[in-house]
Structure 1
């Protein structure tokens, strides 16, 4: 729709609240600058969006990976941030073996374990879910997880999707003056806010010494691709170091909003036996809690990561 005005007329003055998300073109760049867009030759890959999410075909996760396949999957993970494998049904041991191709595995004592103590189980029905907020896993650790492999063992008749957001795209689209303000900024991450709303406090107290608050860059650099990425999240980031509390709260609210932009997201509808593998350094995710009173059972294996820089 075009705006029509008469000669000499002026558009009335208006003011929108500052620091919002507004309409307009967004930069959607999947690859780091200078990184070639090469085809995949050892498996099929179907993109589910322009910057994040791809479905992989022709790889059996219940069998050991050939080194060349592992190398090409690693490139796909770096380029698409989250990979989906339909109808795999791996055992816990097979799920751990697949994840182990990317490094040492880690466990989270704050989560329930499955039949295998190294596999976290999320058994949800009418109980509240604490994963339905945009977050990056375990940023309260000094070395947050590199990635995670999630297997859906039981799915509800409807709902229960998971969404991922590309935090490199989120950073790319910040205003230049905001990028300048955030250069060198560090933020505090703490496990307490993310767990205290749904976990008895007496169960959390013993873990306070094991997981003290840690500081990470507000904008981290991916250790492999070199992409700059937002690295704050609603579950665990509490404040920006050295900033006035009100200023810190306002900036964090704005940065948390960036994961909500649909152009940066992919949404996956699960079937029993499906597996997702995501780069936890580069993404946030959100488990949609819209399936009660039906049951949803997922099992996750995490790969230990590096110290964000």
Structure 2
């Protein structure tokens, strides 16, 4: 497969051949907003292929003014792969295939408030997620996304050679379990019971995207806890540098939510962060992850 490139604003943008839709880039490096597509409909294979192509080209894609229920949400997700059941939320939700993410007035923390790639403690993390806005505040509650292709590609050749030979250790102990403080102050709780058991996996610090062939930086604050073969005091400075580097403003886009808006991101090359700045207002989202 050819190596896909994300268009810069000064370049000609080549969009998929939407029959009734339109693709507008959010920034020169990441993200696009798509109109003219009803995600609640039973979409044909050609439209699904176009959505997938847009996702691969832009990293994260957005849709507005959508209306679909939980079953339609899951049907849409299954067009891109099997549904991923999150081990740290399955026991806290009515439907294990869906995570309802609520931010209530008075919450001092929100789900995903640190820069992260979803669920990287798993041997095979999910390829992506589809997040739907049910109730949004009149201001605040935006989500930031960061392009990890660019995070890798802008490293020096020496740093690339260094991390290309290293694997990072990923664990969920910072975000779940009885010792974690991540759920304190927020309405949506991860599992923290005594029966919880830590999940640990290792992944290359720079992964090659299985569909585009491009390499992406693959470390994040929420789950990456060390580097295989290195002591904590040896690995921490390198991880801190790479995590900060991956969040550079020029790699990012910011999405302001409206009711009925949808974000679909590629978890293999994009990090994200939720902002807790909605004041005295609720924010209710529904998420389905794709294996």
TM-score category (smaller protein): 0.7 to 0.9
Q: 1:174-194 CA deviation, whole Å, 9 max, x = no partner?
A: 111111111120011000112
Contact 2:88 2:191 in 1 (8 A): no
Alignment of 1:184-263 (within 5 A): 184-195=165-176, 196-199=180-183, 203-208=192-197, 211-263=198-250
Partner of 1:20: none
SS at match of 2:173: helix
Aligned residue number for residue 57 of structure 2 = 79
Please name the residue that 2:278 is paired with.
Answer: 291
Match of 1:276 among 259, 263, 274: 263
TM-superposed CA distance for 1:292, in Å, is 3.0
Alpha-carbon separation, structure 1, partners of 2:247 and 2:153 = 15
Q: 2:153 aligns with which of 163, 172, 177?
A: 172
1:120 to 99, 103, 125: 99
Partner Cα distance (1:254, 1:205) in 2: 34
Counterpart of 1:18 in structure 2 is none
How many residue pairs end up in the alignment?
Answer: 270
For residue 118 of structure 1, report the CA deviation from its aligned partner: 1.8
Q: Is 1:56–2:34 an aligned residue pair?
A: yes
Q: Do the aligned partners of 1:150 and 1:277 also contact (CA within 8 Å) in 2?
A: yes
- Segments ≥4 residues shifted beyond 3 Å: 36-39, 112-117, 199-202
Distance of 1:234 and 1:117 partners within structure 2 = 25
* Partner residue, 1:135: 116
Distance 1:260 1:39, change over 3 A: closer
* Distance in 2 between residues matched to 1:257 and 1:227, nearest whole Å: 21
2:85 is aligned to 107
Q: 1:161 is matched with which residue: 135, 142, 145? A: 142
CA distance, structure 2, for counterparts of residue 80 and residue 185 of structure 1:
27
Q: Aligned partners of 2:181 and 2:142: how far apart in 1?
A: 22
TM-score (norm. length: structure 1): 0.83
Give, in whole Å, the separation in 1 of the partners of 2:254 and 2:50: 23
Structure 1 contact 134–259 (Cα < 8 Å) conserved: no
Q: What's the offset of the Cα at 1:115?
A: 5.5
**1:72/1:206 CA distance change after superposition, 3 Å:** same
User: Which is higher, the Rg of structure 1 or of structure 2?
Assistant: 1
Inter-partner Cα distance in structure 1 for 2:39 and 2:111: 28
Which sections of structure 1, spanning at least 5 residues, go unmatched?
A: 1-28, 305-309
> Normalization by structure 2: what TM-score?
0.88
Q: Tell me how far 1:110 sits from its aligned partner.
A: 1.8
Return the alpha-carbon distance in structure 1 between the equivalents of residues 183 and 16 of structure 2.
44
TM-superposed deviation, 1:131: 1.2
Deviation at 1:303, TM superposition (A): 0.3
Tell me the distance in 2 between the aligned counterparts of 1:286 and 1:205: 28
CA positional deviation for 1:51: 1.7
